[in-house]
């Protein structure tokens, strides 16, 4: 979204230097690698970088102006907006861009499933509006920088912006809402992610519930107890969604693959061809369908689009290795509910043996050992034949699996990704299915890469 100099300066309370040489329209870029001649370079600061160090590079590449909080870092002949804090200015510029957007904005958050739900919703909306008229982040750019970048990249020709919102500190979702002003808020669930950072489940839930602090229409998970507890506090009734047998009005994907919509006096029930693995992904799909319905898609359009939906990279990616060995990579990230959901999906795989390679989860706080024991027990009870365990809580995973009934000889500890890949090379057989699941910090894609080599 292009901003006038006057609007940009007013939004950021900036001191304008070299106004006569400033471009009439401001297109803000924070990465010199993406900069085009005529752009305005904003010098962000981070823990390990300072954008002010790249001002010379930006000017050399054709930046017409800069946004800085250190005026001394700018050559005298370069027009500048001098602000108190460039990060805050970036968010204020994004808010100004949002105020010019005439379409609809959907925001999605939750402990698990938000990136997948965003990805599914963007695909559904593209079938209705056209790909060029739907804007969503290509990855999980869900913090204040990512959300600001998305809003600033919007254009008046687009119909819908799909925003993903994440939080690593209390109150952050409400802060993102103040930038994006969503019309619709989709909350996938309130689970256990980042409990070590938030300190308590209540603080986590309160932060997620900030999604509705600006009055967005709520789309809530009928299977999420915390959402059900908090729903009466909303200004208007939510639209519920779920996977399973419908038990209340809302949007449901049933076990026999039917889309049931009963949020009005009339109930619609149509067969759909869902090609996504696991009940949790049907839940994510139901959330995306609910939001799409609020944005004007018909049930017929949705039923036609659903068979072509794909999952984001790193989510239950199936690769055939050799003649008859399946590798399932689902290690983009991991928390308790996500681990259990993926193990449930893995239990449905037809295989001679199911081999689960589980690394630990991260940022779970004082309940980390107990949560890993629950995952290990669930792996044993869900039909895993061999369990490989690694990471900081490998022993807790193993203890849980033993308690769940898996024999000691079926549990293998691995010290690093190479040793896990080596064990699989030596012991996995044709007809086996292998699952890789764990926190992003353990880089389990290294196991997949070694097995594919």
The secondary structure of 61-106 as a DSSP string is TT--EEEES-GGGS-TTS-EEE-S-HHHHHHHHHHHHHHH--SEEE
pLDDT of 197 above 70: no
What does pTM read for this prediction?
0.91
Q: Which domains does the chain have, with CATH numbers?
A: 3-84 (3.40.1390.10), 101-308 (3.40.1190.10), 317-452 (3.90.190.20)
Instruction: Give the distance from CA 41 to its chain's centroid.
Output: 27
Instruction: Give the distance from CA 194 to its chain's centroid.
Output: 14
Q: What percent of the chain has pLDDT over 70?
A: 98
d(CA 95, CA 110): 23
Check if the beta carbon of residue 124 is closer than 8 Å to that of residue 309.
Answer: yes
pLDDT tens-digit profile of 38-67?
Answer: 999 999 998 889 999 999 999 999 999 999
pLDDT at 365: 80
Helices (DSSP H) in 144-224: which residue ranges?
Answer: 144-152, 172-180, 195-198, 201-209
pLDDT at 195: 55
* DSSP letter, residue 199: S
Q: For the residues of 309-361, what is the DSSP string, one character each?
A: --PPTTSSEEEEETTTEEEEE--S---HHHHHHHHHHHHT---S-EEEEEPPP
pLDDT tens-digit profile of 109-127?
Answer: 998 999 999 999 999 999 9
d(CA 29, CA 54): 12
Give the alpha-carbon dihedral of 180, 230, 119, 289, to 10 degrees.
-110
Write out the two tokens for 401.
């699996």
pLDDT at 199: 61
Which of 46-50, 97-101, 383-387 shows the lowest per-residue confidence on average (mean pLDDT)? 46-50
- Smallest CA-to-CA distance from 44 within 140, 145, 143 is with 145
pLDDT at 194: 55
How far separated are the first and last CA of the chain, in Å rounded? 44
pLDDT at 196: 58
d(CA 260, CA 249): 9
- Opening angle at CA 93, ends 288 and 117, nearest 5: 10
Other C-beta atoms within 10 Å of 371: how many? 23
- Smallest CA-to-CA distance from 192 within 178, 182, 202, 180 is with 202
pLDDT at 125: 98
Q: Helix 279-294 crosses helix 336-347 at what angle (to 10 degrees)?
A: 110
- Smallest CA-to-CA distance from 62 within 13, 91, 29 is with 29
Instruction: Give the distance from CA 320 to its chain's centroid.
Output: 27
- 92: region left, alpha or beta (phi > 0 left; psi from -120 to 50 alpha): alpha
């Amino acid at each position: 979204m292009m901003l006038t100099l006057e609007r940009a300066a007013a939004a950021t309370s900036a001191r304008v230097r070299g106004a006569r040489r400033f471009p009439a329209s401001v297109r803000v870029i924070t990465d010199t690698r993406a900069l085009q001649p005529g752009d305005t370079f904003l010098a962000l600061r981070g823990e390990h970088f300072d954008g002010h160090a790249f001002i010379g590079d930006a000017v050399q590449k054709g930046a017409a102006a800069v946004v800085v909080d250190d005026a001394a870092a700018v050559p005298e002949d370069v027009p500048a907006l001098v602000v108190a804090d460039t990060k805050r200015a970036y968010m204020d510029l994004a808010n100004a861009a949002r105020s010019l957007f005439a379409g609809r904005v959907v925001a999605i958050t939750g402990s698990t499933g938000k990136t997948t739900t965003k990805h599914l919703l963007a695909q559904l909306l593209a079938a209705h509006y056209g790909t060029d008229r739907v804007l969503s982040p290509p990855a999980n750019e869900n913090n204040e920088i990512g959300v600001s970048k998305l809003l600033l990249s919007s254009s008046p020709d687009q119909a819908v912006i799909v925003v993903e919102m994440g939080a690593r500190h209390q109150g952050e979702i409400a802060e993102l809402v103040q930038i994006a002003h969503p019309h619709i808020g989709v909350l996938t669930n309130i689970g256990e992610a980042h409990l070590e950072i938030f300190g308590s489940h209540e603080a986590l839930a309160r932060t997620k519930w900030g999604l509705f602090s600006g009055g967005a229409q709520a789309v809530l998970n009928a299977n999420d107890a915390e959402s059900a507890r908090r729903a009466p506090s909303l200004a208007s009734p939510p639209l519920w969604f779920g996977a399973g047998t419908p038990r209340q009005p809302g949007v449901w994907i049933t076990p026999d693959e039917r889309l049931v919509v009963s949020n009005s006096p009339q109930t619609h029930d149509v067969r759909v061809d869902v090609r996504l693995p696991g009940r949790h992904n049907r839940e994510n799909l139901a959330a995306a369908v609910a939001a799409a319905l609020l944005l004007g898609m018909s049930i017929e359009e949705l039923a036609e689009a659903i068979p072509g939906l794909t999952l984001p990279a790193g989510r239950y990616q199936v690769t055939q290795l050799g003649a008859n060995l399946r590798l399932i990579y689902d290690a983009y990230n991991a928390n308790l509910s996500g681990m259990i959901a993926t193990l449930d999906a893995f239990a449905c795989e037809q295989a001679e043996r199911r081999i689960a390679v589980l690394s630990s989860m991260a940022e779970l706080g004082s309940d980390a050992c107990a949560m890993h024991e629950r995952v290990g027990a669930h792996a044993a009870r869900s039909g895993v034949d061999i369990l490989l365990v690694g990471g900081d809580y490998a022993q807790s995973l193993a203890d849980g699996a033993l308690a769940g009934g898996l024999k000691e000889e079926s549990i293998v500890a691995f010290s690093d990704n190479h040793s896990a890949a080596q064990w699989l090379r030596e012991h996995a057989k044709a007809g086996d299915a292998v699952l890789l699941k764990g926190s992003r910090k353990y880089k389990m894609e290294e196991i997949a890469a070694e097995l594919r080599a």
